[in-house]
Structure 1
Amino acid sequence: MKPVFIALFLACSSAQAAMGPFDVYEQALRNDPVFLGAIKERDAGLENRTIGRAGLLPRLSYNYNKGRNNSQATLPDNRGGTYRDDRNYNSYGSTFTLQQPLFDYEAYANYRKGVAQALFADENFRDKSQALLVRVLTYYTQALFAQDQIDIARAKKKAFEQQFQQNQHLFQRGEGTRTDILEAESRYELATAEEIQALDEQDASLRELGALLGVQSVNIADLAPLNQDFAAFTLTPANYDSWHELALTNNPSLASQRQAVEVARYEVERNRAGHLPRISAYASSRKQESESGNTYNQRYDTNTIGIEVSVPLYAGGGVSASTRQASRSMEQAEYELEGKTRETLIELRRQFSACLSGVSKLRAYQKALASAEALVVSTKQSILGGERVNLDALNAEQQLYSTRRDLAQARYDYLMAWTKLHYYAGNLRDTDLAKVDEAFGPAQR
């Protein structure tokens, strides 16, 4: 999809349905340069299998040469002397050669290394495909959370401005204090700073989304917001041990790292093959005429079939040093696999715990929000009855808006934890993003 078309699509989207995360993902598949580059990287890596196999297959070559020769031969004569013979002649040679390795451990090791490299490329691409799903949802929720913060900051400013005007009016009537005015003014300025920060964060997130789609930026109005009645998903499987086994089996990052160990292992074998003999069968058909001074004015047609054996004896210690070097690289790859496994399982456990605790946090914040809303109403009534002061109202308002922000953050954190749990387990698919997409609805701003 061309950028111009995308821009037109986004410009008209306000009249149509807002984009959900799945819509963004579908467009990112066609436009994200990181993902498109990953496709080419995988395609290039898959060729290693063919390249490695080529060393085990027959090789057919053809060689042809033709030249003009000017030479002077010194030959013995019949009287015991010599004479010179100037020869100007054409030479010609033509050879077909077929070779088939019979025993070539280096070629075999190269083939197995090529297979491992192809599998590495495939698993690495699978990891980047799933990472694209995570990136889409990350930038999407960051933009929406920033909008929530903007809305909350503006609501706070409006409430604090009204409180400021009310306190100023009471002060002019001699019923209020200067402290109440300053407190309301301070809260208003803090809300203004929060709004500015949220606007900056939203702009960055929208530009990140735009980069996925191949456009400069995305309008927040084009994104479907999270449904207010969003509830947590059912976690399947429900126990951590099952997720642990899934990660060890399916995580593409671990799978690619295991293939990196295999690549290193067969690199060791390839270097070790420098000590082993090579045996190959060959067949050739050769035609030559006057190809050298010894075959002047002679033509040969020669067909040959045979076995060739090459035995390495000494290479200055280079083979042993290369083998040791490759062995150290393999050990490094094994340690990196162990480190990556530990890192992945730690993140898996973190996201699993976040999913479990996220359900409880959502319920707690929803109850806290209801209590905070009731507290604001109660505090305002108590002020009218002389039981509370204006500072209590400001504190109640502050608590209400903080609870709204925390509830919004908890919702997005839960969605990200659920998505990352599947990512680290290695089974994150577009159908999972489609399920997340159902939590977002038409814009209601």
Structure 2
Amino acid sequence: MAFRYSRQLLTALLLGCGSAEAAMGPFDVYEQALRNDPVFLGAVKERDAGLENRLIGRAGLLPRLSYNYNKGRNNSQATLPDGRGGNYHDDRNYNSYGSTFTLQQPLFDYEAYANYRKGVAQALFADESFRDKSQALLVRVLTYYTEALFAQDQIDIARAKKNAFEQQFQQNRHLFEQGEGTRTDILEAESRYELAIAEEIQALDEQDAALRELGALLGVRSVDIADLAPLNEDFAAFTLTPANYDTWHELAITNNPTLASQRQAVEIARQEVARNRAGHLPTVTAYASSRQQESDSGNTYNQRYDTNTIGIEVSMPLYAGGGVSASTRQASRAMEQAEYELEGKTRETLIELRRQFSACLSGVSKLRAYQKALASAEALVVSTKHSILGGERVNLDALNAEQQLYSTRRDLARARYDYLMAWTKLHYYAGNLRDTDLAKVDEAFGRAQR
């Protein structure tokens, strides 16, 4: 308990000191999430529990040693012939005793072998499932991180819009009072200002939700946006390696942990079919026993036996009411279901893989286009203001130019975060997303405070 308290205190101190020291990047958040995220910590225990299935299955193939001991007090009455054609009664009060060591080794037990193969598949399933959840944690960290930063970008943009539209509103009102403007100009500026307020409120709500999600990963109530390193202004797209989709396709088929775990689920179902079919097969077991007994029955009254036995036991099932056949058919249907689920999951994964691959390719062009559009929008604002002074443009043109500028800034920010997420998810669906990949993404975020 003391260790847990110290760990939470350390995490809180790290977050609380963010304003005084360097801000956290995605990799810093990931390292803390490894120690505090309950979903991931639960996955660790789930994996550890699943790995035990290999040993559980193997146990059915190994020797089994048992010991049985009994000692009792007996009150018995024996009726015996008296030799003259009659009977007499003999009351016997005696102690009985029995002690037996038994060693058994399966020689042929197909059910035990199927259970072993099933246990191996279950252990592999647990391992692949854990690998999937480990990579999913990377995706969750970056998702909440970028959502919080994008919300901050929206907040900054909304506040800049508020300032610009407020200045426009004051200017239009002054002109109206001087008899040079119109009431419509005032209303247009006021409407844009109120919309900017609504956008700021929505962005604040979205940021609060994202920060709380990050806090849940770290085991704290919430995270301050100032603790997060912002995306570098000069962020550029990564080089996509490999560059062709077919290679990514093969990577996903081979390495995707979700597909790998689903294949193990099919193998588990296949071994369950084999286990049920074993109900029709014989079992052969070698055994050895050492037994000591004294007066363990009426026939051995006042007699002691020391018996050592070694032999082979064969058991052959003959009829079980049709239950074995029904169970085998049921297991076969479950295996077919698992095979269909594997096919469905494969198609779903490859669709997402292709979507993220295309997003990475198009993201490069989108970033370049938005950067050019931003430069044009900034020039348009300046040009429009000059045109208004020259009488060539009107107030609405200035508002539209400002709106276009801020929309372009927002779209550029969104495109940057979308590209980072697409690059990350592409590696996730290919099954090769590692902490080194997050470290590469981490380099795109500066450590300077806001």
Give the shorter-chain TM-score range: over 0.9
Partner residue, 2:441: 436
- Kindly state the Cα deviation for residue 335 of structure 1 after the two structures are TM-superposed: 0.2
Q: Deviations over 1:41-94 (max 9, x none)?
A: 000000000000000000000000001111111111122211111111000000
Please list every run of 5 or more consecutive structure 2 residues that lacks an aligned counterpart in the other structure: 1-6
Confirm or deny: 8 A CA contact 1:361 1:410 kept in the other structure.
yes
- TM-score normalised over the length of structure 2: 0.98
Q: Check whether the contact 1:52–1:114 (CA below 8 A) recurs between aligned residues.
A: yes
What is the distance in 1 between the residues matched to 2:422 and 2:64? 54
8 A contact 2:226–2:449 mirrored in 1:
no
CA contact (8 A) 1:282 1:306 kept: yes
Give the corresponding residue for 2:278. Answer: 273
The answer on whether the counterparts of 1:46 and 1:118 sit within 8 Å (CA) in structure 2 is yes
1:168 match: secondary structure: helix
Cα displacement string for residues 398-429 of structure 1 (whole angstroms, at most 9, x for unaligned residues): 00000000000000000000000000000000
> 1:439: Cα distance to partner?
0.0
Please give the alpha-carbon distance, in whole angstroms, between the structure 2 residues aligned to 1:26 and 1:430: 9
**Native 8 Å contact 1:55 1:111 kept in 2:** yes
Q: How many residue pairs align between the two structures? A: 444
How many angstroms apart in 2 are the aligned matches of 1:355 and 1:92?
79
| Distance in 1 of aligned mates of 2:32 and 2:60 | 42
Q: Is the 8 A contact 1:144 1:225 kept in 2?
A: yes
Distance (whole Å) between structure 2 residues aligned to residue 101 and residue 374 of structure 1: 85
- Once residues 443 and 220 of structure 1 are traced to their aligned partners in structure 2, the CA distance between those partners, rounded to angstroms, is 13
Matched with 2:167 is 162
Q: Quote how far apart the aligned CAs of 1:259 are.
A: 0.2
CA distance, structure 2, for counterparts of residue 293 and residue 183 of structure 1? 110
Cα deviation digits, residues 357-381 of structure 1 (max 9, x gap):
0000000000000000000000001
Moved more, 78-87 or 320-329: 78-87
Q: CA contact under 8 A between 2:105 and 2:287: conserved in structure 1?
A: yes
Distance 1:443 1:209 in 2: 20
- CA distance in structure 1 between the aligned counterparts of 2:299 and 2:206, rounded to whole angstroms: 85
| CA distance, structure 2, for counterparts of residue 380 and residue 444 of structure 1 | 34
Deviation readout 1:168-217 (Å, 9 max, x if unpaired): 11011110010000000100110100000000000000000000000000
- How far off is 1:7 after superposition? 1.3
Contact kept? 1:209, 1:218, Cα under 8 Å = yes
Deviations 1:281-312 (A, max 9, x none): 00000000000111100000000000100000
Q: Distance in 1 between matches of 2:99 and 2:436?
A: 62
Per-residue CA shift, 1:314-352, capped at 9, x if unaligned? Answer: 000000000000000000000000000000000000000
CA RMSD of aligned residues (A): 0.6
> Which of these residues, 87, 90, 98, is aligned with residue 93 of structure 1?
98
Any idea what the Cα deviations from partners look like across 1:135-156, whole Å, max 9, x if unmatched? 0000000000000000000000
Whether the 8 Å contact between 1:223 and 1:443 is mirrored in structure 2 is no
Alignment deviations for residues 203-262 of structure 1 (CA, whole Å, 9 cap, x no partner): 000000000000000000000000000000000000000000000000000000000000
Aligned residues of 1:109 and 1:270 also touching (Cα < 8 A) = yes
Contact 1:355 1:417 in 2 (8 A): yes
Distance 1:260 1:119 in 2: 9
Cα deviation for residue 396 of structure 1 reads: 0.3
Contact 1:103 1:279 in 2 (8 A): yes
> Any gaps of 5 or more consecutive residues in structure 1?
none
> 1: CA distance between counterparts of 2:217 and 2:307?
64
Displacement after TM superposition at 1:8 (Å): 1.7
How far the C-alpha of 1:9 sits from its partner, in A, is 1.5
CA displacement at 1:443 relative to structure 2: 3.6
Q: What SS does the corresponding residue of 1:110 show, helix, strand or coil? A: helix
| Match in the other structure for 1:421 | 426
Matches within 5 A, 1:367-386: 367-386=372-391
1:279 partner SS: strand
Q: Provide the C-alpha distance between the structure 1 equivalents of 2:83 and 2:328, rounded to a whole number of angstroms.
A: 64
Instruction: Specify the alignment match of 2:299 in structure 1.
Output: 294
After the TM superposition, which of the residue ranges 435-444 and 412-421 deviates more from structure 2?
Answer: 435-444
For 2:255 and 2:116, the matched residues in 1 are separated by: 25
Per the alignment, in what secondary structure is the counterpart of residue 433 of structure 2? Answer: coil
CA contact (8 A) 1:207 1:217 kept: yes
Deviation at 1:444, TM superposition (A): 4.5
* Aligned partners of 1:221 and 1:443 also within 8 Å: no
Say whether the 8 Å CA contact 2:23–2:449 is kept in structure 1: no
1:108 corresponding residue in structure 2 = 113
Determine helix, strand or coil for the equivalent of 2:17. helix
SS at match of 2:229: coil
CA contact (8 A) 2:22 2:449 kept: no
Residue of structure 2 aligned with 1:283, choices 285, 288, 297: 288
Matches for 1:75-86 after TM superposition, within 5 Å: 75-86=80-91
Q: Distance in 1 between matches of 2:134 and 2:377?
A: 42
Distance in structure 2 (CA, Å) of the matches to 1:69 and 1:120 = 55
Identity of aligned residues (%): 91
Q: Distance in 2 between matches of 1:46 and 1:7?
A: 34
Q: In the alignment, does 2:144 pair up with 1:139?
A: yes
| Distance in 1 (alpha carbons) for counterparts of 2:389 and 2:16 | 50
Structure 2 CA distance for aligned equivalents of residues 91 and 228 of structure 1: 90
- Checking the alignment, whether the CA contact within 8 Å between 1:206 and 1:217 is kept in structure 2 is yes
Most deviating of 351-360 and 73-82: 73-82
3-state secondary structure, aligned to 1:339: helix
Whether the 8 Å contact between 2:19 and 2:449 is mirrored in structure 1 is no
d(CA) in 2 for partners of 1:113, 1:236? 38
